[in-house]
């Protein structure tokens, strides 16, 4: 097992894939402060000073972000900031999710189009740099979120927006891949929104769903019966539900720091399912959830998991690379290219770590 400092360096050097990150919550607080109205700055300045934040403080950050993102200029700035932060951390494939919302100067579709335009600009400029430096570029992709706090009618409109925007692009420009079910887990259950997700499936959209963040067996059963392509968190499953998933797996997106916050855990050693899912061949990815709000990076999350579960460097590299198995990317040629760079870099790092 690598020493802690060596483990962190190893994870930082790995190319990485992030599958569960919310756009606004991933923005650096320094960027939010620069954009925030005066009413939100006091809270944000205080939060900036903290190395770690309580769940209550994280909710305060979310509230300040919501007050800040009211115009297209803020959306563009935050999206560019998030992509730069993930790229700097060595993430080379990124699926961001966000709930379409009207702004002061745009409707929900304008909001989504602005995000996708920044994706295209970032990828284009990164490719231009890479042609000169042999750098491997970040490929950002998007999921549109259905918020439990909204109505089933809003959910259907989100699905229809995703399908309509997807139908207008092809090939390398196909950056909108699917939809996500998220929001306050104590609000309406999945069954209320099932028709919208059935429509998403008919449109060829991939589906990810937050599940079992709180003890809600009926809601969890409804999500599992639908069988989304991926599950977010899946923390509080019954033994029967966990066994059923082991028999017929659905990839799980774990977010270690976020999970500890949600469950009020002192450390990852108390995580209810981390060792169970990582202990065998179950398809799992490690993610950040809200990197800016939780003051983390994907490298830190991987290193924390490696330390908590006593993983060898080879095992940790395999956990990182396995996220590609669950990516919603439809361009298989691109996925194959990602596998090649992940494998080559991991092999080089493993040779140097022995």
Q: Domain coordinates of the chain in residue numbers?
A: 4-353
Class of domain 4-353: alpha beta
**Gap between the Cα atoms of 130 and 37, Å rounded:** 37
Q: What is the pLDDT of residues 108-131, one digit of tens each?
A: 999 999 999 999 999 888 766 665
Give strand pairing partners of 94.
18, 140
pTM of the model: 0.94
Residue owning tokens 């399912």: 273
Chain centroid, CA 135 distance in Å: 23
221 contact partners, CB below 8 Å, separation of at least 6: 241
User: Residues 1-59: pLDDT tens digits?
Assistant: 465 888 999 999 999 999 999 999 999 988 988 998 887 788 788 877 776 777 677 77
pLDDT at site 249: 97
CB within 8 Å of 245: residues ≥ 6 apart: 224, 234, 237, 252, 282
Mean pLDDT of 71-91: 97
């Amino acid at each position: 097992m690598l020493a802690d400092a060596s483990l962190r360096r190893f994870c930082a050097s790995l190319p990485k894939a992030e599958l569960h990150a919310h756009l606004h919550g991933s923005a650096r607080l320094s960027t939010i402060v620069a954009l925030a109205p005066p009413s939100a700055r006091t809270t944000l300045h205080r939060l900036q000073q903290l190395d770690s934040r309580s769940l209550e403080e994280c909710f305060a950050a979310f509230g300040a972000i919501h007050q800040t993102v009211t115009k297209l200029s803020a959306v563009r700035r935050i999206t560019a900031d998030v992509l730069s932060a993930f790229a700097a951390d060595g993430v080379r494939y990124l699926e961001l999710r966000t709930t379409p919302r009207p702004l002061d100067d745009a409707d929900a579709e304008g909001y989504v189009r602005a995000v996708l335009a920044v994706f295209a600009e970032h990828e284009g400029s990164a490719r231009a740099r890479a042609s000169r430096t042999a750098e491997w570029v970040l490929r950002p992709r998007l999921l549109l979120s259905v918020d439990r706090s909204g109505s089933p009618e809003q959910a259907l409109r989100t699905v229809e927006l995703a399908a309509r925007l997807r139908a207008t692009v092809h090939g390398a420009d196909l950056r909108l891949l699917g939809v996500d079910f998220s929001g306050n887990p104590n609000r309406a259950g999945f069954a209320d929104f099932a028709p919208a997700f059935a429509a998403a499936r008919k449109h060829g959209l991939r589906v990810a769903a937050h599940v079992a963040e709180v003890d809600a067996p009926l809601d969890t059963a409804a999500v599992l019966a639908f069988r989304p392509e991926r599950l977010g968190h899946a923390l509080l499953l019954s033994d029967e539900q966990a066994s059923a998933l082991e028999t017929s797996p659905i990839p799980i997106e774990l977010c270690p720091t976020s999970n500890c916050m949600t469950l009020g855990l002192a450390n990852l050693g108390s995580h209810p399912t981390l060792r169970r899912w990582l202990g065998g061949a179950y398809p799992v990815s490690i993610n950040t959830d809200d990197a800016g709000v939780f003051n983390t990076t994907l490298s830190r999350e991987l290193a924390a998991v490696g330390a908590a579960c006593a993983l060898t460097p080879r095992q940790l590299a395999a956990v990182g690379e396995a996220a590609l198995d669950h990516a919603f990317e439809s361009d298989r040629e691109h996925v194959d290219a990602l596998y090649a760079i992940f494998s080559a870099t991991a092999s080089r790092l493993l040779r140097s770590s022995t």
